[in-house]
Chain A
Amino acid sequence: MSSQTATTAISPREKYYFLARRLHSLTGLMFSGFVCFHLLINATVLTGGESFQFCVEKIHILEHMGILVPVEMATIFFPIAFHALFGIVILLTSQSNMKDYPYGGNIRYTLQRLSAVVILVFLTMHIWHMHWLGKPFGGAQFDPANATSTAAAAMQSWSLWAPIYAIGVAATVFHLANGIWTALITWGVTIGPRSQRVAGYCCVALGAVLFVAGLGAVRGFMTYSVADGNETAAVEQVEESGH
């Protein structure tokens, strides 16, 4: 039936669906890598304001090279934008039946889609709140030159930011860990039930580490004293004494 129509006229959906789904998986993995990096670096604030500042400055070496924005766009922004937009298409074709079939895999299937919606809302708020893209809309409170104190001030500017970030981190980490687990099946890496189970344990471990790091970072920025924020000077001192 449909194979006959496919040979006569192939619709763009028919032609690119498989490619789009594979790219959706790939962009998810790319963004997972970024999130791991992001949460672990944020958690360095727990060891003091200057260690976070030091990490941010290392990243912003790319800015001095003039390639920070292109790198950010190519490896983070465009991949996640595609992942989010095509993710909505996928979301619209699902029909959760968790109540009738309350199996672990089925519950995770539904939570994967629920967390996606939470992340979409959270990420929009987070970009407005911290990233320079939010500047035209009155956001962008994070300044890489004074990374720790501006991030801390942004986090402490509203009593609801801490719970919002905690929920955002929880949704992101779940979506990431479960997404890696399903990506391993999608690409045919873990084929048998046993390898899928072991991969599941590994993803839970990764998720647990990232969740602790993410919550630690939220706590670190909430408790950082903005008043004596002299992390830039501290980093400069360290660098000078190192030379």
Chain B
Amino acid sequence: MSKRVKVNIKRQDSPDSGSYWQTFELPVEDGMNVTTILLRIAATPTTTDGEKVAPVAYDACCLEEVCGACSMRINGKVRQACSALVENLLKEQPEITLEPMTKFPNVRDLVVDRRRIFESLKRVKAWAPIDGYTPRGEPDRMSPSDQEDAYPLSRCMSCGCCMEACPQFNDKDDFIGPHAVSQAILFNTLPAGKPLESERLDALAEAGGIAACGNAQNCVKVCPKDIPLTVSIAKAGRATTIHSIKRFLAR
């Protein structure tokens, strides 16, 4: 119980101000995760220099790795704060470093504006079109093999880890990101999503769509939900090519 941990946090007061580092030290608790660290710091926000500072701003919600809210760079690698256990982090390096995700505009401290995640999902129409006045009836049944393909993709929680780790997702490119490609493939597999299949493939064939992928395959390595993102990407590559040729020949 006497073991203590040093935590270096990259802070930023407002979207336009510069960033700076502060170090905090606190006792390690059993089963402690990064969210607990931030909670303890918020209770007594005093740095190792003895300076009393504003509590560190951070996002957290479900605390069980299903909501995707608490993504941040922990020891230089993007992951969920709630499932990052201090015990494991200290095996990586003697002190813990926390930074906000770099690919999204900073709001304050560890909080970022993740609107681009949602904009990407809107671009590929990642939903089942069920609005309207007339009853649509039951969608077609899915084969067990389709269910097995679709279920892992449905675990996506839009946490942004795949985008943060992607070398092609940045300010210089308008890549929609691996999650949106995967969600487009998911909704194209679901019978209820089929009516928009062609529109999703059109969106994937736009600039910043599937063609922007550089096959670094970091996405699948950092995905906290073990979603086979690179399988979705390859499927999208095949589907958009066939779709585009069909489109061209139908003109």
Contact = CB atoms under 8 A, between A and B. Distances in A.
Contacts of B122: 1, 3
A190 B238 CA distance: 10
A185 B215 contact: yes
B200 to A, nearest CB: 11
Interface in A146-198: 182, 185-193, 196
Interface string A60-101: 000000000000000000000000000000101111110011
A84 B212 CA distance: 17
Contact of B167 (A17, A106, A182, A192): A106
Nearest to B124: A3
Interface string B74-100: 001100000000000000000000000
A106 B207 CA distance: 22
Contacts, number: 117
Contacts of A132: none
B146 interface: no
Nearest to B205: A18
B216 A105 contact: yes
Interface in A24-74: none
Interface string B185-226: 000000000000000000101111101111111100110000
Contacts of A189: 238
B230 A103 contact: no
Contacts of B173: 93-94
Interface in B166-180: 167-168, 170, 172-174
A14 B215 contact: no
A200 to B, nearest CB: 11
Nearest to A188: B238
A13 interface: yes
A191 B236 CA distance: 10
Interface in B33-55: none
Interface string B145-183: 000000000000000000001011010111000000000
A219 interface: no
B119 interface: yes
A128 interface: no
A6 interface: yes
Contacts of B233: 185
A19 B211 CA distance: 9
Given A18-B205, A193-B228, A196-B230, A188 B235 contact: yes
B32 interface: no
Nearest to A181: B215
Nearest to A21: B211
Interface residues of A, number: 39
B60 interface: no
A22 interface: yes
A13 B207 CA distance: 7
Contacts of B203: 3
Nearest to A192: B231
A2 interface: yes
B244 A18 contact: yes
A109 B119 CA distance: 26
Contact of B230 (A19, A100, A193): A193
Contacts of B239: 188
B206 A101 contact: no
B241 A109 contact: no
Nearest to B115: A1
Contact of B216 (A93, A106, A191, A196): A106
Contacts of A108: 216
Contacts of A11: 207
A61 B167 CA distance: 47
A185 B119 contact: no
Interface in A100-159: 100-101, 103, 105-106, 108-110, 112
Given A1-B122, A185-B233, A193-B228, 12 more contacts: A2-B174, A22-B241, A93-B173, A93-B212, A94-B214, A103-B218, A105-B215, A105-B217, A188-B234, A188-B238, A193-B230, A196-B230
28 contacts: A1-B123, A2-B123, A3-B123, A13-B207, A17-B207, A17-B209, A18-B206, A18-B211, A21-B211, A22-B241, A94-B167, A94-B168, A94-B172, A94-B173, A95-B170, A95-B172, A97-B165, A100-B76, A101-B77, A101-B218, A103-B218, A109-B214, A109-B217, A186-B211, A186-B237, A187-B237, A188-B234, A190-B234
Interface of A: 1-3, 6, 11, 13-14, 17-19, 21-22, 90, 92-97, 100-101, 103, 105-106, 108-110, 112, 182, 185-193, 196
